[in-house]
Amino acid sequence: QVQLLQSGAEVKKPGSSVKVSCQASGDTFSRYTINWVRQAPGQGLEWMGRIIPTPGIGHYAQQFQGRVTMTADKATSTAYMDLINLRSEDTAVYYCARSRSDAFDVWGQGTMVAVSS
Amino acid sequence: DIQMTQSPSSLSASVGDRVTITCRASQNIATYLNWYQQIPGKAPKLLISVASSLQSGVPSRFSGSGSGTDFTLTISSLQPEDFATYYCQQSYSMPLAFGQGTKVEIK
């Protein structure tokens, strides 16, 4: 059974960057797609983009183009989401989620990222 | 980009009630529609994929229907553990998108 374990909470200053990790266990990592979804406090779910570990291609939502990079390390079965130039509006819980046919069937536990001066 | 609109945004219901949530897509998405349940403080959980396919382990009181632009999630007899927020999500084309959510509260 696939499990996704995310890195711990982060507190960042505006203008800085954050890198969140998502380690998979229980299945062949390279066979599926990892998505990143975020949820601001009290708000809904926002899809940020996805990475296909093989061949390592990322697709990003337009509003994050230029600020986000998604990567995958097949050797450690870990996906990463790197967000730069942080602003207060980026304060949110960030989830990784496996998708099959673009339905998110396995989720990480979430990583809280707080951006504050 | 495809926009997803849920209604209502919130509802109050009692245990045992039949509950219906609607999701509308801004264009035809065939049956590329998924439903999720989110309990506060937890990650979302996939309930239904491709409009009507119940995920393994999800109680049969949950059902989904629809195609094209209009979809429905129905809970036939609301249970205490069903009080949560429900989201639809289109998987027809990029960018993938969620509805704004429907919060189901206790009456």
Full pLDDT tens readout for chain A, 117 residues = 889 999 999 999 999 999 999 999 887 777 889 999 999 999 999 999 999 888 888 999 999 999 999 999 989 999 999 999 999 999 999 999 999 888 999 999 999 999 999
Largest separation between any pair of C-alpha atoms in chain B: 38
- Contact between A35 and A96 under an 8 Å Cβ cutoff? The reply is yes
Closest residue in A to B53 (Cα–Cα): A103
CA distances from A7 to A40, A92, B58, B68, B103 (A): 18, 14, 28, 39, 28
Question: Among all residues of chain B, which has the CA nearest to that of A99?
Answer: B91
Q: Is the preceding peptide bond at B40 cis, omega within 30 degrees of 0? A: no
Neighbours of A109 (CB within 10 A): 14
Digit-coded pLDDT (tens) for B52-68 = 999 999 999 999 999 99
Least CB–CB distance from A44: residue in B49, B95, B100:
B100
Q: Does B44 sit behind a cis peptide bond, omega within 30 degrees of 0 on the bond before it? A: no
Cα angle A52, A65, A92 (rounded to 5 degrees) comes to: 85
Q: What is the pLDDT of residue A7?
A: 98
Cβ–Cβ < 8 Å for A108, A2: no
Is some CB atom of chain A closer than 8 A to the CB atom of B50? Answer: yes
Judge: B95–A61 Cβ closer than 8 Å, yes or no: yes
Distance of CA A70 to the CA centre of its chain: 7
Contacts of B78 (CB under 8 A, 6+ apart): B13, B14, B15, B16, B17, B18, B19, B104
> What value does the mean pLDDT take over residues B66-91?
97
The residues facing B10 across adjacent strands are B103
pLDDT score for A57: 87
Mean pLDDT of B27-55: 98
Contact B91 A101 (CB under 8 A): yes
Per CB-CB distance under 8 Å, the chain A contacts of B34 are: 103-104
CB B91 within 8 A of CB A103: yes
- Beta strand extents in chain B (DSSP E only): 4-7, 10-13, 19-25, 33-38, 45-49, 53-54, 62-67, 70-75, 85-90, 97-98, 102-106
CA distances from A5 to A24, A59, A75, A91, A97 (A): 7, 22, 16, 20, 10
Strands A10-12 and A111-115: parallel
